Structure 1
Amino acid sequence: MKKIDIHTHFLPEKWPDLAARFGTPDWPAMRHTEPGKAMIMVGDQEFRPVYEACWNPAVRIEEMDRHNVDVQVICATPVLFAYERPAEQAADCAKLFNDAALEICAYNPQRLKALCQVPLQDIDASCEEVTRAVKNGHLGVQIGNHVGHKNLDDEGLLTFLQHCASVGAAVLVHPWDMMARDRMPKYMLPWLVSMPAETQLSILSLIMSGSFERLPKSLRICFAHGGGSFAFLLGRVDNAWKHRDIVREDCPNIPSSYVDRFYVDSAVFNSDALAMLVKVMGDDRVMLGSDYPFPLGEQEIGQLIQDHTLFDVSLKQKILGDNAQNFLQI
């Protein structure tokens, strides 16, 4: 079966000293600790250990072969977004990391594809960069699920999504800058609790605001990590829409009717959860996504789908590859 993994991350092996470049502290940097291993730093704070699959395409292809993955779509690690920085600095970073992504993909362009990043705090600059990136070979763009206090129903962000549709850019929405971190200092709880909530918030912000009524149906948009807590709590949302006028104030149709407007990846790590996700979203709206090469990602890429006892061969092929071909238009 053809496997297309639409959710993987990269980091360049090195990049310029951004703190020195912009004259401000606490920029992300890479500190290589030993051959093939490094630590992402944010200022002088350790953020995450990583290894050479992030930057070495030969290692990446070798591991793809081990997992029988035909195509990987790589995108930046969200710590590189720089949404909180001055827009011109974020735009500079976007070009830097977008060009680096294409350099990695050039090792084997048939098997490695890329999504760009943009300075999402500046909509005009974001539209300009996604246009440039798509012309240069990116298949679309990865964006964070919010910019400061602006959710995806913000007018500027809707303008950007409309532009993505107009230039044919697929959009992957990835949670970042998670809520309530001060209440979750241990156990990676922001990744385990806030990340699914952030993803559900981004989906509901488009549904409940009526934004999907304004966005073109040609927009191809996917939410990472199985859509977070969206599928499990959709019944609660539908119930609220039916019984409270303040819930349906801007949403003309029952929330569950919008599941055909977006995709989710398969990174839910449990066969029952995956079965429910497919039942809620439909056969055509779930795609293989592993979050490779990080420890919280799927360690045996595609195995959850391949071993599923409730999925026939046709459905497995849709989730493993066919749906991604439609989403990415490859």
Structure 2
Amino acid sequence: MAARRGPRRRCARPDGTHHGPAEGAAVTTPPPTVDVHAHVLLPEIEALVEGLPGHAQAKALDARRNGPDALRVNGPMIGERLPLLTDPAARLAAMDGQGVDVQLVSPSPSHYHHWTDEETAEKVYRLAGEATAAHCAAAPDRLRGLGLVPLHHPAQAVPALDHALAQDLVGVEISSHAPGRELSDPAYAPFWARAEETGAIVFLHPFGCTLDERLDRWYLSNSVGQPTENAVALSHLIFSGVLDRFPGLRIVAAHGGGYLPTHIGRADHAWSARSDARSGCTHPPSSYLRRIHFDSLVHDPYVLRELVRVAGADRVLLGSDFPFDMGHDDPVGALRVARLSDADFEAVRGGTAAALLRKD
């Protein structure tokens, strides 16, 4: 993975001091700083689905889930950030300001549109892949991209993944579920097999929470809903045995995997105490955390340290949710506050992600 050209910043230690090579020591080039959680907005997709049967109902459901107060804030927030979401030059300038060398760019989850028919769903995933690839082509050494998978039409999952890879994207983004289907559904087995075979990255990023109107105030739809959806989705992958059957999957879970990593002891206890809980997976649930990658976007240095402890520093990747207001404007600074060891800091800052994104 190519790093940004120009003079290289000295890496800051987690305690805030700086360190360089000892005098006379061999100088090694540090890995690039890689942000694996950054989004692009694709107006072409919204123009495609506007006015189609089911679109109005989907918008109404989203409005109920978020509530009127959140919607009043969301519009101006996105408007202010529109250049960062659509203009590669604005994105690159912001990355420079953050000290980020490389972004893994995924379409806004608002583009999932899990209500569309098969024909429209195919158009959406094709447009998403092609438009994201075009955005990243503005700086291919600094921007890598992901396509979309229409989970509501499982038969399209493999073609969607293949289409994304054909656009020189490194994988696909998926939601935590589709209406009436969890990620443990056997219908997704061909997709998991193909993702494992190709080595594609599968970025798990929820959109919306099925707790619906219970979370329609105070932006609970996001602050509670997103980590809940992450935890449920990962639990389905673990307890159903998907990760046993496809051990080579390269899954990256947004939002630090939600509540699951910090409450994995309860899952282990259920697996040990109850036959129904251990009927699907071979090993204790906590052992599977070291088969999943997680972004660092947990908003708490102590939670980040715990995530590194239970999953391993080689499974945690820098993530900012660029450029939304629920993300970090200074992801490296947020990582530094966690006061990890030097080796762990460097792995999370970019070492692991650079290896993950490197082309064969």
With normalisation by structure 2, the TM-score equals 0.82
- State the percentage of identical aligned residues: 30
Q: State the match for 1:325 in structure 2.
A: 354
Relative distance call for 1:80 and 1:130 in structure 2 (3 A) is: same
Q: State the match for 2:302 in structure 1.
A: 272
Q: State the match for 2:320 in structure 1.
A: 290
Q: State the match for 1:95 in structure 2.
A: 126
Alignment equivalent of 2:344, drawn from 304, 307, 315 = 315
- The size of the alignment, in residue pairs, is 313
**DSSP 3-state at the match of 1:17:** helix
**DSSP 3-state at the match of 2:103:** strand
Which amino acid counterpart does residue 159 of structure 1 have in structure 2?
A: P
**DSSP 3-state at the match of 1:172:** strand
Q: State the match for 1:34 in structure 2.
A: none
Q: State the match for 1:3 in structure 2.
A: 33
Aligned-pair distance for 1:17? Answer: 2.7
Q: What are the equivalent positions in structure 2 for 1:169-318 lying under 5 Å apart?
A: 169-215=200-246, 217-309=247-339, 311-318=340-347
Aligned-pair distance for 1:128? Answer: 1.2
Structure 1: give runs of 5+ residues left out of the alignment. 30-44
What value does the CA root-mean-square deviation take over the aligned residues?
2.0
Aligned-pair distance for 1:212? Answer: 1.5
Q: State the match for 1:152 in structure 2.
A: 183
Superposed CA deviations along residues 49-99 of structure 1, whole A, max 9, x for unmatched, are 412100011110000000110000111111111122112211101111221
Contact kept in structure 2, 1:75 and 1:101, CA below 8 Å: yes
Contact kept in structure 2, 1:28 and 1:80, CA below 8 Å: no
Relative distance call for 1:86 and 1:276 in structure 2 (3 A) is: same
Q: State the match for 1:166 in structure 2.
A: 197
Aligned-pair distance for 1:329? Answer: 3.2
Superposed CA deviations along residues 104-150 of structure 1, whole A, max 9, x for unmatched, are 11111100110100222223322112112212210100000101131
Contact kept in structure 1, 2:45 and 2:124, CA below 8 Å: no
Alignment equivalent of 1:80, drawn from 107, 111, 114 = 111
Question: Which of structures 1 and 2 has the larger relative contact order (alpha carbons within 8 angstroms, sep 6+)?
Answer: 2
Contact kept in structure 2, 1:145 and 1:174, CA below 8 Å: yes
**DSSP 3-state at the match of 1:108:** coil
Contact kept in structure 2, 1:210 and 1:252, CA below 8 Å: yes
Contact kept in structure 1, 2:231 and 2:258, CA below 8 Å: yes
Aligned-pair distance for 1:20? Answer: 5.6
Q: Which has the larger radius of gyration?
A: 2
Looking at structure 1, the residues matched to 57 and 124 of structure 2 have their Cα atoms a distance apart, in angstroms, of: 11
Contact kept in structure 1, 2:102 and 2:141, CA below 8 Å: yes
Aligned-pair distance for 1:323? Answer: 1.2
Which amino acid counterpart does residue 218 of structure 1 have in structure 2?
A: G
Aligned-pair distance for 1:15? Answer: 5.2
With normalisation by structure 1, the TM-score equals 0.89
Aligned-pair distance for 1:289? Answer: 0.8
Which amino acid counterpart does residue 355 of structure 2 have in structure 1?
A: N
Q: State the match for 2:18 in structure 1.
A: none
**DSSP 3-state at the match of 1:321:** helix
Aligned-pair distance for 1:3? Answer: 0.8
Looking at structure 2, the residues matched to 92 and 232 of structure 1 have their Cα atoms a distance apart, in angstroms, of: 39
Relative distance call for 1:218 and 1:25 in structure 2 (3 A) is: closer
Which amino acid counterpart does residue 221 of structure 1 have in structure 2?
A: I
Aligned-pair distance for 1:254? Answer: 1.1
Contact kept in structure 2, 1:28 and 1:79, CA below 8 Å: no
Q: State the match for 2:14 in structure 1.
A: none
Superposed CA deviations along residues 165-190 of structure 1, whole A, max 9, x for unmatched, are 12221100011221211112211101
Aligned-pair distance for 1:326? Answer: 2.9
**DSSP 3-state at the match of 1:83:** coil
Aligned-pair distance for 1:27? Answer: 9.0
Contact kept in structure 1, 2:129 and 2:147, CA below 8 Å: yes
Alignment equivalent of 1:142, drawn from 138, 153, 173 = 173
Contact kept in structure 2, 1:131 and 1:167, CA below 8 Å: no
Aligned-pair distance for 1:16? Answer: 6.5
